[in-house]
Amino acid sequence: MNILGIETSCDETSAAMLCHGEVRSNVVSSQRCHTLFGGVVPELASREHERLIVAIVEAAVTESNIRKNELDVIAATAGPGLIGAVMVGLCFAQGMAYALKIPFVPVNHIEAHIFSPFINEGSSYPPPEGRFVSLTVSGGHTLLSLVEQDLSYRVIGRTLDDAAGEAFDKTGKMLGLPYPAGPVIDKLAMSGNPAFHLFPRALTSASQSSKNYHGNFDFSFSGLKTSVLTWLQKQSAEYIEAHKADIAASIQSAIVSVLVEKTIAAARSQRIKAVSMAGGVSANSALRNAMKTACDKAGITLHVPAAVYSTDNAAMIATLASLKLSRGMRAECRYNIAPYASFTAGARKAGLK
Ligand code: KG4
Ligand code: ZN
């Protein structure tokens, strides 16, 4: 089966071709126009998607060596995301499927992240086989889910405030780093000391409120943000500049240690021996190393896609459509699927808990 996937939920315009389960192409264009503003400007994002969508889809189809009339299905993100941005890819995909008279499959972006470890290409980790605990960490979401063999899943923990990616981006902005700061902190931290300053780790065994910790798989990163801000305000500009790498490493360590501790605790509590990571933050090298070490110690198998499939990409959209179709979902020739902005609204629509 030849599936064209399209993703435009935030600031990446992406199209990918999945042919008989193999990623033949995955073209991703990351919008640079937001850097100046220190965050994604929704209106600019939609306009950029509009400008690029035809060229990106053409590039993905051409690179795959599949002709458009050989496409069997088109899949696109229907949400959650910036509504105008989602709408560009969703309308384009439904229009194209309608013109080609082939079925269209709407995909939930967060679910696509959750199932991205099923993408084999370029990963040194195997795809999951049975039940697994998924840590999904992106710019807008931080979720722990319990995924069953039949691909149904239940969210068992989520952030109470900021997402992990937001914590990277906002604390990075305080350090004067460009948007998105996550990958910049990752690089900077490589030459820094993670024990330089101990920033708070909320809702963990080490936190003040450890009585609230046991069996609690929720996250909170807003306290970290405040703590970084107030600590930086007490330091001189010269001191911050001289210790930028140490501060970056200390912030990263605070985020990573919480993510690892909660994920392993969740797997233990469910007696599950498999853990996966997905979403932009899971491209973080310190998180990958720390999670691998913790999993090895606990006798847990780790499943992580290659870094290009951790951040936003259309291959994961086509992959989830393929998984659903191979498990009996019927693709319909309906081309009036509406976009949605929030994960819960989308999950409700899809009939999930
Ligand atoms: O999944 P994603 O590409 O888009 C969303 O759905 O949000 O995630 C983007 C987030 C941003 O916050 C970005 O800073 C973060 O992922 N990110 C990273 C790294 N690469 C991307 N955070 C830490 N380390 C990285 N290497
Ligand atoms: Zn994402």
Residues with CB under 6 A from ligand 1: 10, 138-140, 165, 168-169, 180-183, 186, 279-281, 283-284, 311-312
**Ligand nearest, relative to CA of residue 30:** 1
Tokens of 221: 């990163």
DSSP calls for 93-161: HHHHHHHHT--EEEEEHHHHHHTGGG--TT-SSPPP-S-EEEEEE-SS-EEEEEE-TTS-EEEEEEBSS
When mean pLDDT is compared over 14-18, 322-326, 342-346, the highest value belongs to 14-18
Does the structure show a pLDDT above 60 at 333? Answer: yes
Compute the average pLDDT of residues 137-153. Answer: 93
Least confident of 59-73, 201-215, 310-324, 329-343: 201-215
Please give the number of the atom of ligand 1 that sits closest to the Cα of 109.
6
User: Whole-angstrom Cα distance, residue 195 to residue 344?
Assistant: 37
| Domain locations in the chain as residue ranges | 2-114+310-350, 126-304
Q: Is the pLDDT of residue 345 over 80?
A: no
Counting ligand 1 atoms within 8 A of each CB, the residue from 86, 169, 224, 311 with the most, and so the one to mutate, is 311
**Confidence label for 196 from pLDDT (cuts 50, 70 and 90):** very high
- pLDDT for residue 315 is more than 50: yes
Tell me yes or no: is domain 126-304 CATH 3.30.420.40: yes
Nearest alpha-carbon partner for 317 in 12, 4, 80: 4
Q: Which ligand is nearest to the CA of 281?
A: 1
170 alpha-carbon distance from chain centroid = 17
What's the CA gap between 17 and 319, in Å, rounded?
A: 9
The answer, yes or no, to whether the previous bond of 80 is cis (omega within 30 of 0) is yes
Does the pLDDT at position 341 exceed 50?
A: yes
Q: Pick the atom of ligand 1 nearest to 310's CA.
A: 1
Mean pLDDT of 169-193: 96
pLDDT-derived band at 349 (thresholds 50, 70, 90) equals low
pLDDT for 84 beyond 60: yes
Q: When comparing pLDDT for 82 and 32, which is higher?
A: 82
pLDDT for position 330: 82
- Categorize the per-residue pLDDT at 353 as very low, low, confident or very high, splitting at 50, 70 and 90: very low
The pLDDT, as a whole number, for residue 38 is 81
Residue 317 · residue 5 · CB < 8 Å: yes
Give the pLDDT of residue 210: 56
Instruction: Pick from 34-38, 161-165, 341-345 the range whose average pLDDT is largest.
Output: 161-165
Q: Would the pLDDT of 205 be above 90?
A: no
Measured in Å, residue 224 CA sits from the centre of ligand 1 at 18
352 confidence band (pLDDT: 50, 70, 90)? very low
Name the 3-class secondary structure at 192: coil
Mean pLDDT of 167-179: 96
Residue 186, CB-side half-sphere exposure with 13 Å CA sphere: 16
Cβ neighbours for 58, distance < 8 A, ≥ 6 positions apart? none
% the chain with pLDDT above 70: 95
- Distance from Cα 306 to the centre of ligand 2, integer Å: 15
Per the model's pLDDT, the better-predicted residue between 103 and 213 turns out to be 103
CA of 74 to the centre of ligand 1 (A): 26
What is the overall mean pLDDT for the chain?
93
Q: Of residues 114 and 212, which shows the higher confidence score?
A: 114
Decide which of 139 and 211 is more confident. Answer: 139
Ligand 1 mutation pick, 108, 114, 138, 282, max ligand atoms within 8 A of CB: 138
pLDDT of residue 331: 82
CATH topology of domain 2-114+310-350: Nucleotidyltransferase; domain 5 (3.30.420)
Residues 332-348 have a mean pLDDT of 82
